[in-house]
Amino acid sequence: MSAEIDEAFLDLPLRVLADAALSRARELGAEHADLRVERIRDQHLSLRDGRLDGTSDREDLGFAVRVVHDGTWGFASDVALTPDAAARVAERAIEVAQVSRPLSTERVVLADEPVHGDVRWASAYEVDPFTVPDEDKVSLLADWSAGLLAHDVVAHAEASAHSVKENKFYADLAGTTTTQQRVRVHVQVEATGVDKESGRFETMRTLAPPVGRGWEHVTGTTYDWAGELDQLPGHLGEKLGAPSVEGGTYDLVIDPSNLFLTIHESIGHATELDRALGYEANYAGTSFATFDKLGSLAYGSPVMTVTGDRTAEHGLASIGYDDEGVAGQQWDIVRDGVLVGYQLDRAMARRKDLGRSNGCAFADSAGHVPLQRMANVSLQPAAEGPSTEELISRVDRGIYIVGDKSWSIDMQRYNFQFTGQRFFRIDHGRLAGQLRDVAYQATTTEFWGSLEAVGGPQTYVLGGAFNCGKGQPGQVAAVSHGCPSTLYRGVRILNTQSEAGR
């Protein structure tokens, strides 16, 4: 269910600030102006070996005014929520645009967007994590840690809970006014085991993804925490005694708990239009998927269809309206293996005459200007697709990869390698024990081109991360990536210990 927006946020002088800022921007000749008020509550608890190891609990509240004046962006922000401050911030934003105008090489023009009136939206959750006493959260994580530490194979246990509540109010000169609330949680537990003879250690982490839900995700029925925690020590013990992989070429079956990160890095970032145009390059480079390839680039095999989605239920990047007043949408990025779309904000959409923005503008605080940010980018399952077990049964010599871990990708989002939490050898269609020291390496188009089959809806999982970084000064956004289990043929596998010279 969707929750009600906090009355404490609604009681702020939101419309008074908007009237003061927007009327002043209009008086000063702004072609576009918007005001955004944000309140962000962020809490992080961490335990080591069942004892509280660190805690932070902060709230960030402020507002920003962004304008287009004489074809140039201007931006300013403040924390004093008064009409006089709002008018002054609008004046500063205009001044920034005027100072920047001689440096601008192209005029800023925004793609048209329907006026949405005065609307509200809240994400779907049941239990606000900030209403749950801290001692209850710590007690639950401590109990889970104690259960792991009771096993001889577990030398250390770490547990953490990260909760965020985000409120936004937006108003612009066109007449759109949005008031929104999003809640998200990420809880994880990791066990460490040590081989006493060699001194080698291994870790094993829960696979539960971060979600756009409330605390019910931790204590309710949306995830089988008890089942996974029961299995974790056994998986860890097997990994400690597993043989090291022999490098070479293997067929792979990849679980959604691993593949979401590969989607994020090789598709999500590569299909941000500002990155593909070279407009964004500071943080992590541009993209091989340049605009001239739209409609023709064979991104992957014909079974590959990838969507961008700002509306997925419980998605970390799901919104009602973005930070430019654009309604959330779903669209195709890759269809039948071919690049057919990008992620857009209003300026990028107009720059290349792509029509309406698909709602990808986002700022992580009132003190930051909105950037074009990633939607929930997801690989779609096959309607009548196979189970994970059926995919494994098609492989004679291969590896089944579960859970994410380290990764590396180049500045064009093209050459990459990824590791995982656990790796199972596949021998003639059956799992035959764990391996270790595994990394898969490919180029983006090679990898997705080797995709032979996608699983059915029963294998689909919405994974994701809280910490997608972009821009300078850096901003952080939460984003989900859904995918089914998948089968790839002939992927290069590295032995990470050999590659490290050990």
pLDDT at 122 exceeding the cut of 60: yes
Q: Which tokens is 105 given?
A: 């090489």
Percent of the chain with pLDDT over 70: 99
**Per-residue confidence (pLDDT) for residue 196, from 0 to 100:** 84
Which residues touch 152 (CB under 8 Å, ≥6 apart)? none
Class for domain 7-240, per CATH? alpha beta
Query: What is the rounded distance in angstroms from the CA atom of residue 93 to the CA atom of residue 90?
Result: 5
Q: Which tokens is 78 given?
A: 């403040």
What is the mean pLDDT of the segment spanning 56-64? 97
The residue ranking higher by pLDDT, 197 or 277, is: 277
pLDDT at 375 exceeding the cut of 80: yes
Q: Tens digit of pLDDT for each residue in 397-446?
A: 999 999 999 999 999 999 999 999 999 999 999 999 999 999 999 999 99
Q: Tens digit of pLDDT for each residue in 147-161?
A: 999 999 999 999 999
Query: What is the rounded distance in angstroms from the CA atom of residue 446 to the CA atom of residue 451?
Result: 9
- Residues 289, 350 contacting (CB under 8 angstroms): no
Query: What is the rounded distance in angstroms from the CA atom of residue 300 to the CA atom of residue 309?
Result: 20
**Per-residue confidence (pLDDT) for residue 454, from 0 to 100:** 98
Which residues touch 341 (CB under 8 Å, ≥6 apart)? 271, 294, 308, 331, 332, 333, 358
Q: 295 — alpha (psi -120 to 50), left (phi > 0) or beta?
A: left
**Per-residue confidence (pLDDT) for residue 413, from 0 to 100:** 96
What are the backbone angles phi and psi of residue 441, rounded to the nearest 5°? -130, 140
- Residues 119, 321 contacting (CB under 8 angstroms): yes
Query: What is the rounded distance in angstroms from the CA atom of residue 418 to the CA atom of residue 411?
Result: 15
Q: Which tokens is 323 given?
A: 């930070």
Q: How far lies 70's CA from each of 31, 89, 161, 346, in Å?
A: 7, 18, 47, 17
What is the mean pLDDT of the segment spanning 265-270? 98
Q: Tens digit of pLDDT for each residue in 230-261?
A: 999 999 999 999 999 999 999 999 999 999 99
Residue-range domain boundaries for the chain: 7-240, 248-499
Q: Tens digit of pLDDT for each residue in 104-120?
A: 989 999 999 999 999 99
**Per-residue confidence (pLDDT) for residue 494, from 0 to 100:** 97
Give the HSE-up count for residue 267: Cα atoms under 13 Å, Cβ half-sphere. 37
Tell me the one-letter amino acid at 92: R
What are the backbone angles phi and psi of residue 259, rounded to the nearest 5°? -65, -25
pLDDT at 475 exceeding the cut of 60: yes
What are the backbone angles phi and psi of residue 442, rounded to the nearest 5°? -170, 175
Q: Which tokens is 339 given?
A: 């690049």
Helices (H), 203-296: 216-219, 225-240, 256-263, 273-276
Average pLDDT, the chain: 96
